[in-house]
C-alpha cells in the first residue's frame, strides 16, 4: 500500500525538500515520519511548501559552492595507490572507485561518495591515470591517480668492467700535425705563431754587404835551404 508524503529533507534516490512522493505506508510510518524526514500530505502541511522550497534552494546553492571549491582543490592533487605486482610488473587485481575513495579519505581527509568517481573501466596498469569526478550535476573535475608497485622491480646487473691493462686503440699519432690542403696556407696555430704575433715582431735590419776582397794568387814557392859549408879542420 502506497501513501503520499511531503519530504522535508533531501533523500538520495527519493527526492528533495518540498517534493511530494509516494512511498510504502510502512516505510513512511516506521522511518520517514519518526526521523522527521517527511510529513503527511494535508492542507495544513501544504502551507509549509514555500518554506521547504526556500530551504532547498539555499541547500543546493551551498552544495554548488562547496563542490566548486572542492573541484579546484582536487584537480591539483595526486592520489597515490600502492598495489601488489608480480616480477614482470603486472598488477594482481585492479584499482576500483572504492579504493580511490578510501585513499582520498586517508591521504587528504576528503570524504567522497564512490559513485561520484567515474571509471569507464577499472585501472589495470601501473603509472599515471586521470579519473573523472562528477561532484555535482553542474560540477566535474579530474583527479590524477598514480599507481605504483609495493614490490621493488628487479634492477639489471651492472656492466662488467673492462680488463685492466688493455689500452684503447689510438685514432691518430701524437705530435703529428694536420697537413694543410694544397694551395692553402698552413694555419697560424699549426706553424706555432699567429699572424697577430708576426705583426707585433720587429723586423731585423738588413745585413751590410761585405767589401770585395781581391782574389789571392798562388802562393810563391819557398826557396830551397842553403847547403851548409863544409867544416874545416
Report whether pLDDT(50) > 70.
Answer: yes
User: Architecture of domain 2-47 in CATH?
Assistant: 3-Layer(aba) Sandwich (3.40)
Cβ neighbours of 6 (radius 10 Å)? 20
pLDDT at 140 over 90: yes
Rounded percentage of the chain residues whose pLDDT exceeds 70 = 65
- The highest-level CATH class for domain 71-149 is alpha beta
Question: Nearest-CA neighbor of 100 among 91, 90, 84, 111?
Answer: 111
* Interval 187-200: pLDDT, tens: 544 444 455 555 55
> Is a pLDDT exceeding 90 seen at residue 226?
no
pLDDT band for position 232 (50/70/90)?
Answer: very low
The residue with greater pLDDT, 161 or 9, is 9
Alpha-carbon distances of 226 from 220, 223, 229, 231, rounded to whole Å: 18, 9, 9, 15
The pLDDT value given to residue 190: 45
Q: Please report the pLDDT score of residue 79 as a whole number.
A: 95
Residue 4 has pLDDT above 70, yes or no: yes
d(CA 187, CA 194): 8
What are the CA-CA distances from residue 9 to residues 27, 34, 67, 137, 230 (Å)? 15, 13, 19, 19, 174
User: Which residues on neighbouring strands pair with residue 132, listed in sequence order?
Assistant: 118, 142
Residue 19 DSSP label: -
Q: Is the pLDDT of residue 217 over 90?
A: no
Starting at the edge strand found earlier in the chain, the sheet holding 127-136 runs: 78-83, 139-149, 127-136, 117-118
Which of 43-52, 147-156, 202-211 has the least mean pLDDT? 202-211
Tens digit of pLDDT for each residue in 53-78? 999 999 999 999 999 999 999 999 99
Max distance between CA atoms of the chain, in angstroms, equals 198
Find the mean pLDDT for residues 90-110.
92
Phi, psi of 96 (to 5 degrees): -110, 170
What confidence score (pLDDT) does residue 157 get? Answer: 61
Residue partners of 188: CB distance under 8 A and separation at least 6: 194, 195
In what helix (H) or strand (E) does residue 104 lie, and over which residues does it extend?
Answer: helix 97-108
Which residues in 29-56 are b (16+ Cβ under 10 Å) and which e? eeebeeeebbbeeeeeeeeeeeebeebb
Question: Taking Cα atoms as reference points, which of 92, 112, 109 lies closest to residue 101?
Answer: 112
Length of the chain: 233
Show me where the domains of the chain are located.
Answer: 2-47, 71-149
User: Which one has a higher pLDDT value, 231 or 210?
Assistant: 210
pTM of full prediction above 0.85: no
Amino acid at each position: 500500500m502506497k501513501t503520499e508524503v511531503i519530504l522535508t529533507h533531501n533523500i538520495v534516490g527519493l527526492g528533495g525538500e518540498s517534493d511530494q512522493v509516494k512511498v510504502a505506508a510502512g516505510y513512511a510510518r516506521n522511518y520517514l515520519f519518526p526521523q522527521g524526514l517527511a510529513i503527511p500530505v494535508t492542507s495544513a502541511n501544504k502551507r509549509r511548501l514555500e518554506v521547504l522550497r526556500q530551504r532547498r534552494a539555499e541547500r543546493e546553492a551551498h552544495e554548488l559552492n562547496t563542490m566548486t571549491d572542492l573541484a579546484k582543490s582536487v584537480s591539483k592533487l595526486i592520489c597515490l595507490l600502492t598495489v601488489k605486482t608480480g616480477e614482470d610488473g603486472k598488477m594482481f587485481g585492479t584499482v576500483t572507485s572504492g579504493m580511490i575513495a578510501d585513499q582520498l579519505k586517508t591521504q587528504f581527509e576528503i570524504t567522497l561518495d564512490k559513485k561520484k568517481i567515474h571509471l569507464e573501466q577499472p585501472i589495470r596498469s601501473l603509472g599515471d591515470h586521470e579519473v573523472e569526478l562528477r561532484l555535482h550535476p553542474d560540477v566535474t573535475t579530474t583527479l590524477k591517480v598514480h599507481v605504483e608497485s609495493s614490490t621493488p622491480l628487479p634492477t639489471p646487473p651492472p656492466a662488467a668492467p673492462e680488463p685492466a691493462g688493455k689500452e684503447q686503440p689510438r685514432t691518430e699519432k701524437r705530435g703529428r700535425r694536420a697537413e694543410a690542403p694544397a694551395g692553402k696556407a698552413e694555419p697560424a696555430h699549426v706553424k706555432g705563431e699567429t699572424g697577430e704575433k708576426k705583426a707585433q715582431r720587429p723586423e731585423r735590419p738588413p745585413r751590410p754587404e761585405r767589401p770585395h776582397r781581391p782574389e789571392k794568387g798562388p802562393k810563391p814557392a819557398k826557396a830551397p835551404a842553403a847547403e851548409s859549408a863544409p867544416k874545416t879542420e
